[in-house]
């Protein structure tokens, strides 16, 4: 791969992130309402206390000064203090909520990729067969279903109805047995339903994309040539059709990875999963600017990085885009 | 080529099974599991520092961690806390508190009068020049008690002098903090003190773990001076924005107690086995408040001068059918509201004379008499000849406000007043309806009416003060200013005896009701539910018609018993006396069904799920069959 192509893409991504950082600041200040006013919902609060909070949160400074402070601290990796969780550093809060989301969506993505692509490839290969019908039908239904509907259905059947899995949270608290094995099992038990929801929600789009992609590839001349050479069906699929059909799927996967946090919100709320999704909703309600800025920064960076990765992989797979 | 693959698969499966087999015994062999009390509620804890919490949950946690100098008893009466006894001097200006002999903090350090002096001095220093400590929510307790000095002549004695006689000192909500942990904390840096777990306190349970977005876990204080509850640990789980999930977890027996489910959810739980549902009188109200600001505001303020007129506001009160709101919006879980002192304040609430009875006709007559005739299109006009179109806002967080707004919109249209209602997010609304004294007036107070709620303190001052003139520019959401009310507020606050205080307070309630800066729509019930098969001995505050938790202080945690060990039947000690009238506090206890019933949850979702999947399969099968038939015919 040409190094100029690489440099161009990386610089582009860095510039995008810069713009996002500034936009991030402006966007939240444009929302109506100021975070200190909500403190007045307690009848005991004095004017002095609200003024003190404003000063401590830096809300009294003029906007340009707030922006400069914000840029300076963001550049050094300091995202400030949360308004709602008084005295907690934003980076600490984000880090504690990041990994549950990454595990939930990472695993969900992996499952969806494996099952979705396999189902799509098989459906496309055996086009018109029963698997294609059932698979494509189900995929279409799942594709059009929002996560929270899938989540509520699964919750109703497997947690409330059958009692097979816990309804919410990430770990059983204070269970007494602290051994690694039981903790892991407990975690997996809590993870099962939300991860299934994520996987089911994603399988549809992967399978539909893969199916049409395989069908398209199978009509190409080189597949006909391969058939003419007398290759077995399996060989044609594995060596000729699949690698080419995977190209659009790679893009979709890379872009989807960027939207991990965005997609997290509804699933996490349904299962009360302590990740970035539930944090986002909570921070929005409390007008916790520093937390929201942190989340949006993380979200934007992950989208930009995922796009960059998609570009680079694409460039590697398809020499034409490098020009 | 196929069988090796199958073999490989089988081997993988076997390996996985083996791994599970290794892990499983670890899970089953649980050694001496602590008895957990698991509580679910809908907030996410904001801070473990008592001066930095804005949530009911924060108060619940700090009253578990710490003692107040004098705790709240079962009927909110003063009971021993950090001090085990106290006396008041003959001139009523000097209080002497005796600190329990040999009391220890949860880390084993001695707990003495020096800790009381440290804590109260922190408050006094922080508030002396009009300043505040942390969020300032705890500031009024010593200020309103007129405390002038706090001293400790010896390790078990605290002497507090007040500049006026008062009984409020013994209902102060300030937790006594350990000086040896807090010694570096001053009013200037209290906001930066995180008070990380493990907490050191003298309360019954101390927080040892706080997981943001998940839970706070408290363990029993080994040195607790009082009666110990059966729970070894208390886990309070957070379900922000997820009340459905909380109720599902409760039904699934993952929680023992839930606070604030919705009315519909509470009704569903009434028939669940081993479950007590509680709807109890709350210390707060939901109100319709007006913007009565008495001066014009450029590009801001109320849309009509009529809102400044008590006669206009009074007339609008006749066009609100409060009982209908309670029945239709709250599903009966509330009582008709009248004054700013909720009926929960049994010692202080006084029903006003001449309570308005709902009548559209009366409202119309009163509006005519007050000088607001109907215009040509039927809309009433104000004294400047401007049609009265009122904007009604409410926070969009609580769906009941939107329903209230719809009813009010409909009733007001019948008296010739057009209302446009809109839900706003809490922060935007708070910015609209509070005057920001630090900013120019222009563009502020852009509202006419708001539906929102207030929560009270054990002392009625908190809900009385928000209507005084001095809070305009701060917590006043009505901008109502009345010199007589202000004077009465000071008089009741300075009253030497409760009887004297109550006479002033009665006048304040009548004045408020007649002047109608708010119409109190209802006193909301607190909704709670708990299971009775794990813990027994449930006690409530107040003893009649109260709730066990999320009340004042933590006394009810210390009386729980282990229901599995107790020999008598697990009948809860809740006073399930339905009061006269449909809206009073009620408790319902569902008896345990016959033991043959093995599935405890409702099987409905399961049935729906199975039916849906089966139907889907049938449809797909039919489609495939038809399609195959069609291809077969094509081939022929």
Q: Would you say residue B311 has pLDDT above 90?
A: yes
- Residue B402: CB atoms within 10 A of its CB come to 16
Alpha-carbon distance of B249 to A4, in angstroms, equals: 55
Search chain A and give the residue with CA nearest B44.
Answer: A282
B258 band by pLDDT with thresholds 50, 70 and 90: very high
Q: With pLDDT > 90 as the criterion, what percentage of chain B qualifies?
A: 71
Q: Name chain A contacts of B455, Cβ cutoff 8 Å.
A: 43
Q: Which residue has the higher pLDDT, B565 or B479?
A: B479
Which one of B33, B123, B245 would you mutate to disrupt binding with A, by most A Cβ within 10 Å of its Cβ?
A: B245
Search chain B and give the residue with CA nearest A183.
Answer: B27
Alpha-carbon distance of B127 to A319, in angstroms, equals: 71
Alpha-carbon distance of B416 to B375, in angstroms, equals: 9
ipTM of the assembly? 0.80
B592 band by pLDDT with thresholds 50, 70 and 90: very low
B519 band by pLDDT with thresholds 50, 70 and 90: very high
Query: Are the beta carbons of B245 and A50 separated by less than 8 Å?
Result: no
B92: contact with A, CB 8 A cutoff: no
Give the per-residue pLDDT at B613.
Answer: 66
Average pLDDT, stretch B44-55?
A: 92
A50: contact with B, CB 8 A cutoff: yes
> B527-566 burial by CB neighbour count: b if 16+ within 10 A, else e?
bbbbbbebbbbbbbbbeebbbbbbbbbbbbbbbbbebeee
Half-sphere exposure of B280 (CA within 13 A, CB side): 25
Which one of A86, A189, A196, A289 would you mutate to disrupt binding with B, by most B Cβ within 10 Å of its Cβ?
A: A86
Search chain A and give the residue with CA nearest B143.
Answer: A44
Q: In angstroms, how far is CA B147 from the centroid of its own chain?
A: 28
Reported as type and span, the H/E element at residue B14 is helix B2-28
Q: Name chain A contacts of B242, Cβ cutoff 8 Å.
A: 168, 269-270, 272, 278
Query: Are the beta carbons of B46 and A84 separated by less than 8 Å?
Result: yes
Q: Name chain A contacts of B31, Cβ cutoff 8 Å.
A: 176-177
Which one of A31, A39, A49, A280 would you mutate to disrupt binding with B, by most B Cβ within 10 Å of its Cβ?
A: A49
- pTM, two decimals, is 0.83
Q: Name chain B contacts of A55, Cβ cutoff 8 Å.
A: none
Q: Would you say residue B596 has pLDDT above 50?
A: no
Query: Are the beta carbons of A185 and B23 separated by less than 8 Å?
Result: yes
Closest CA relative to residue B39, chosen from B220, B198, B259: B259
Helix axes A289-317, A90-125, angle to 10 degrees: 40
What angle is formed at CA A286 by the lines to CA B335 and CA B213, rounded to 5 degrees? Answer: 95
Closest CA relative to residue B322, chosen from B520, B489, B82: B520
Q: Would you say residue B502 has pLDDT above 70?
A: yes
Decide if B575 contacts B547 (C-beta within 8 A): no
B616: contact with A, CB 8 A cutoff: yes
Average pLDDT, stretch B57-64?
A: 96
Alpha-carbon distance of A177 to A171, in angstroms, equals: 12
Q: In angstroms, how far is CA B215 from the centroid of its own chain?
A: 18
Decide if B471 contacts A40 (C-beta within 8 A): no
Give the per-residue pLDDT at B77.
Answer: 93
Task: Kindly list the structural domains of chain A, giving each domain's residue range(s) and its CATH number in brackets, ordered by start.
Answer: 3-75 (no CATH), 99-322 (1.10.3720.10)
Q: Would you say residue B188 has pLDDT above 80?
A: yes
Alpha-carbon distance of B505 to B516, in angstroms, equals: 16
Query: Are the beta carbons of B135 and A38 separated by less than 8 Å?
Result: no
B335 band by pLDDT with thresholds 50, 70 and 90: very high
Average pLDDT, stretch B157-183?
A: 94
What angle is formed at CA B225 by the lines to CA B221 and CA B229, rounded to 5 degrees? Answer: 60
Give the per-residue pLDDT at B1.
Answer: 39
Give the per-residue pLDDT at B533.
Answer: 94
Q: In angstroms, how far is CA B615 from the centroid of its own chain?
A: 45
In this predicted structure, which of A256-270, B133-147, B154-168, B482-496 has the lowest mean pLDDT? A256-270
**Tokens at residue B37, please?**
């009390």
Average pLDDT, stretch B96-114?
A: 96
A233: contact with B, CB 8 A cutoff: no
Q: B239-251 pLDDT, tens per residue?
A: 988 888 899 999 9
What angle is formed at CA B397 by the lines to CA B392 and CA B399, rounded to 5 degrees? Answer: 75
Q: What is the DSSP letter of B196?
A: P
Closest CA relative to residue A317, chosen from A252, A257, A243: A243
Could you say which residues of chain A have pLDDT below 70?
Answer: 1-2, 174-178, 260-264, 318-323
Residues B93-97: contacts with CB under 8 Å, at least 24 apart: B93/B161, B93/B162, B93/B163, B93/B164, B93/B165, B94/B159, B94/B160, B94/B161, B94/B162, B95/B159, B95/B160, B95/B161, B95/B162, B95/B169, B96/B157, B96/B158, B96/B159, B97/B69, B97/B70, B97/B157, B97/B158, B97/B159, B97/B160
Alpha-carbon distance of B277 to B587, in angstroms, equals: 6
Q: Name chain A contacts of B44, Cβ cutoff 8 Å.
A: 84, 282
Search chain B and give the residue with CA nearest A137.
Answer: B620
B265 band by pLDDT with thresholds 50, 70 and 90: very high
- Residue A239: CB atoms within 10 A of its CB come to 11
Search chain B and give the residue with CA nearest A35.
Answer: B427
Q: What is the DSSP letter of B288?
A: E
Contact pairs from chain A to chain B, CB under 8 Å: 257
A255: contact with B, CB 8 A cutoff: no
Query: Are the beta carbons of A39 and B135 separated by less than 8 Å?
Result: yes
Q: What's the sign of the alpha-carbon dihedral B363, B364, B366, B367?
A: positive
Q: Name chain A contacts of B472, Cβ cutoff 8 Å.
A: none
In this predicted structure, which of B160-164, B188-192, B234-238, B516-520 has the lowest mean pLDDT? B188-192
Of A42, A173, A181, the CB nearest to B54: A42
Half-sphere exposure of A296 (CA within 13 A, CB side): 20
Query: Are the beta carbons of A156 and B631 separated by less than 8 Å?
Result: no
Q: Name chain A contacts of B54, Cβ cutoff 8 Å.
A: 38-39, 41-42
Give the per-residue pLDDT at B617.
Answer: 66
Half-sphere exposure of B549 (CA within 13 A, CB side): 27
Q: Would you say residue B572 has pLDDT above 60?
A: no
Alpha-carbon distance of B630 to A281, in angstroms, equals: 51
Q: In terms of residues, how long is chain A?
A: 323
Query: Are the beta carbons of A33 and B235 separated by less than 8 Å?
Result: no
Name the burial class of residue B216, with classes exposed (0-12), middle (13-18) and buried (19+) by CB atoms within 10 angstroms of its CB.
Answer: buried
Q: Would you say residue B536 has pLDDT above 80?
A: yes
B90: contact with A, CB 8 A cutoff: no
Average pLDDT, stretch B302-314?
A: 96
Search chain B and give the residue with CA nearest A40.
Answer: B475
Give the per-residue pLDDT at B622.
Answer: 59
Which one of B22, B142, B214, B629 would you mutate to disrupt binding with A, by most A Cβ within 10 Å of its Cβ?
A: B214
Q: Name chain B contacts of A281, Cβ cutoff 8 Å.
A: 240-241
B466: contact with A, CB 8 A cutoff: yes
Give the CA-trace dihedral at B347, B353, B355, B361, to 10 degrees: -170
Q: Name chain A contacts of B32, Cβ cutoff 8 Å.
A: 176
Alpha-carbon distance of B206 to B197, in angstroms, equals: 8
Average pLDDT, stretch B609-617?
A: 63
Q: Name chain A contacts of B265, Cβ cutoff 8 Å.
A: none
Non-local (6+) Cβ contacts of A297 within 8 A are A20, A21, A24, A74, A79
Give the three-class secondary structure for B75. coil
Q: With pLDDT > 70 as the criterion, what percentage of chain B qualifies?
A: 84
Name the burial class of residue A26, with classes exposed (0-12), middle (13-18) and buried (19+) by CB atoms within 10 angstroms of its CB.
Answer: exposed
Average pLDDT, stretch B6-16?
A: 48
Give the three-class secondary structure for B456. coil
Give the per-residue pLDDT at A41.
Answer: 78
Give the per-residue pLDDT at B29.
Answer: 41
Decide if A115 contacts A202 (C-beta within 8 A): no
Query: Are the beta carbons of B214 and A159 separated by less than 8 Å?
Result: no
Give the per-residue pLDDT at B610.
Answer: 59
Q: Name chain B contacts of A145, Cβ cutoff 8 Å.
A: none
Q: Name chain A contacts of B241, Cβ cutoff 8 Å.
A: 269, 278, 281-282, 285
B5: contact with A, CB 8 A cutoff: no
Give B34 to chain A, closest Cα distance, Å.
6
Search chain A and give the residue with CA nearest B235.
Answer: A173
Task: Out of A142-146, B134-138, B141-145, B415-419, give the one with best mean pLDDT.
Answer: B415-419
Alpha-carbon distance of B386 to B340, in angstroms, equals: 32
**Tokens at residue B344, please?**
């929960």
- Residue B503: CB atoms within 10 A of its CB come to 15
Query: Are the beta carbons of B606 and A156 separated by less than 8 Å?
Result: yes
**Tokens at residue B74, please?**
């079962």
Average pLDDT, stretch B421-450?
A: 90
Touching A: B residues 479-538, CB under 8 Å: none
Query: Do you find a cis peptide bond into B198, omega within 30 degrees of 0?
Result: yes
B451: contact with A, CB 8 A cutoff: no
Helix axes B2-28, A180-218, angle to 10 degrees: 150
Query: Are the beta carbons of B431 and A32 separated by less than 8 Å?
Result: yes
Alpha-carbon distance of B438 to B624, in angstroms, equals: 72
Q: B83-97 pLDDT, tens per residue?
A: 999 999 999 999 999
B585 band by pLDDT with thresholds 50, 70 and 90: low
What angle is formed at CA A27 by the lines to CA A21 and CA A33, rounded to 5 degrees? Answer: 135
Query: Are the beta carbons of B52 and A87 separated by less than 8 Å?
Result: yes
Task: Kindly list the structural domains of chain B, giving each domain's residue range(s) and its CATH number in brackets, ordered by start.
Answer: 5-33+606-635 (no CATH), 67-189 (3.90.76.10), 205-281+525-590 (3.40.190.10), 284-455+518-524 (3.10.105.10)
Decide if A150 contacts A200 (C-beta within 8 A): yes
Give the per-residue pLDDT at B22.
Answer: 41
């Amino acid at each position: 791969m040409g190094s100029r192509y690489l440099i161009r893409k990386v610089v582009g991504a860095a510039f995008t992130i810069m713009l996002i950082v500034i936009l991030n600041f402006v966007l939240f200040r444009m929302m109506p309402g100021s975070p200190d006013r909500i403190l007045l919902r307690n009848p005991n609060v004095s004017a002095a206390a609200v003024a003190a909070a404003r000063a401590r949160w830096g809300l009294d400074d003029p906007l340009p000064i707030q922006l400069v402070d914000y840029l300076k601290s963001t550049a050094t990796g300091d995202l400030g203090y949360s308004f709602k969780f008084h005295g907690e550093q934003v980076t600490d809060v984000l880090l504690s909520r990041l990994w549950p989301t990454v595990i939930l969506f990472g695993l969900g993505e992996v499952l969806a990729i494996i099952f979705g692509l396999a189902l799509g490839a098989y459906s496309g290969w055996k086009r018109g067969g029963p698997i294609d019908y059932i698979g494509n039908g189900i995929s279409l239904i799942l594709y059009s279903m929002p996560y929270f509907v899938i989540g509520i259905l699964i919750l109703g059947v497997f947690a409330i109805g059958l009692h097979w899995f816990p309804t919410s949270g990430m770990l059983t608290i204070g269970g007494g047995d602290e051994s690694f094995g039981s903790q892991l099992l407990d975690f997996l038990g809590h993870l099962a339903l939300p991860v299934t929801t994520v996987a089911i929600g994603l399988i549809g789009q992967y399978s539909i994309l893969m199916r049409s992609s395989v069908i398209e590839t199978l009509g190409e001349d080189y597949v006909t040539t391969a058939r003419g050479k007398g290759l077995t069906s399996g060989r044609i699929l594995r060596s000729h059709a699949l690698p080419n059909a995977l190209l659009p799927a790679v893009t979709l996967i890379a872009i989807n990875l960027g939207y991990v946090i965005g997609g997290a919100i509804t699933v996490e709320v349904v299962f009360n999963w302590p990740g970035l999704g539930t944090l986002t909703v909570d921070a929005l309600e409390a007008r916790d600017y520093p937390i929201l800025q942190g989340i949006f920064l993380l979200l934007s960076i992950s989208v930009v990085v995922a796009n960059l990765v998609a570009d680079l992989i694409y460039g590697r797979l398809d020499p034409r885009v490098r020009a | 080529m196929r069988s090796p693959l199958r073999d490989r698969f089988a081997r993988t499966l076997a390996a996985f099974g083996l791994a599970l087999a290794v892990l499983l015994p670890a899970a089953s062999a649980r050694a001496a599991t602590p008895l957990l009390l698991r509580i679910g509620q809908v907030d996410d804890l904001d801070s473990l520092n008592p001066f930095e919490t804005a949530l009911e949950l924060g108060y619940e946690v700090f009253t578990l961690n710490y003692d107040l100098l004098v705790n709240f008893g079962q009927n909110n009466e003063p009971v021993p806390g950090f001090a085990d006894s106290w006396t008041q001097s003959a001139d009523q200006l000097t209080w002497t508190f005796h600190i329990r002999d040999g009391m220890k903090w949860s880390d084993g350090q001695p707990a003495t009068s020096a800790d009381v002096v440290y804590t109260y001095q922190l408050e006094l220093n922080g508030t002396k020049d009009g300043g505040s400590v942390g969020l300032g929510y705890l500031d009024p307790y010593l200020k309103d008690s007129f405390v002038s000095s706090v001293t400790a002549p010896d390790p078990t004695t605290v002497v507090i002098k007040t500049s006026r006689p008062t009984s409020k000192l013994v209902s102060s909500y300030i937790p006594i903090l350990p000086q040896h942990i807090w010694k570096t904390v001053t009013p200037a840096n209290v906001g930066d003190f995180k008070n990380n777990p493990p907490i050191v306190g003298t309360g019954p349970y101390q927080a040892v773990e706080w997981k943001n977005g998940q839970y706070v876990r408290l363990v029993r204080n080994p040195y607790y001076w009082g009666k110990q509850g059966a729970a070894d640990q208390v886990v309070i789980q957070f379900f922000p924005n997820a009340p459905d999930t909380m109720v599902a977890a409760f039904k699934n027996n993952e929680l023992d107690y839930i606070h604030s489910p919705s009315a519909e959810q509470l009704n569903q739980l009434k028939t669940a086995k081993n479950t007590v549902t509680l709807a109890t009188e709350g210390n707060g109200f939901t109100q319709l408040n007006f913007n009565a600001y008495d001066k014009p505001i450029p590009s801001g303020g109320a849309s009509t001068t009529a809102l400044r007129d008590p006669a206009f506001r009074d007339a609008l009160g006749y066009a609100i059918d409060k009982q209908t709101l309670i029945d239709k919006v709250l599903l009966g879980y509330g009582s008709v509201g009248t004054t700013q002192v909720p009926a929960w304040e049994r010692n202080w609430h006084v029903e006003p004379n001449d309570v308005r009875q709902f009548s559209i006709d009366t409202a119309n007559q009163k509006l005519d008499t007050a000088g607001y005739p109907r215009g040509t299109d039927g809309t009433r006009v104000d004294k400047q000849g401007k049609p009265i179109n009122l904007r009604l806002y409410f926070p969009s967080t609580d769906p009941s406000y939107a329903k209230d707004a719809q009813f009010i919109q409909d009733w007001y249209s019948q008296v010739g007043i057009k209302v446009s209602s809109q839900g706003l997010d809490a922060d935007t609304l708070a910015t609209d309806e509070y005057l920001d004294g630090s900013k120019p007036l222009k563009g502020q107070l852009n509202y006419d009416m708001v539906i929102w709620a207030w929560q009270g303190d054990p002392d009625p001052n908190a809900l009385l003060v928000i209507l005084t003139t001095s809070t305009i520019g701060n917590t006043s959401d009505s901008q109502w200013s009345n010199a007589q009310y202000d004077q009465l507020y000071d008089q009741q606050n300075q009253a030497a005896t409760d009887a004297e205080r109550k006479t002033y307070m009665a006048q304040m309630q009548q004045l408020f009701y007649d002047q109608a800066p708010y119409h109190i729509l209802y006193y909301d019930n607190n909704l709670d539910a708990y299971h009775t098969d794990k813990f027994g001995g449930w006690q409530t505050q107040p003893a009649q018609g109260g709730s066990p938790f999320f009340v004042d202080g933590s006394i009810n945690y210390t009386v729980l018993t282990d229901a599995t060990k107790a020999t008598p039947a697990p009948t809860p000690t809740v006073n399930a006396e339905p009061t006269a009238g449909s809206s009073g506090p009620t408790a319902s206890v569902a008896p345990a069904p016959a033991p043959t019933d093995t599935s405890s949850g409702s099987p409905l979702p399961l049935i729906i799920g199975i039916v849906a999947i089966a139907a889907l399969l049938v449809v797909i099968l039919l489609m495939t069959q038809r399609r195959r038939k069609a291809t077969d015919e094509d081939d022929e």
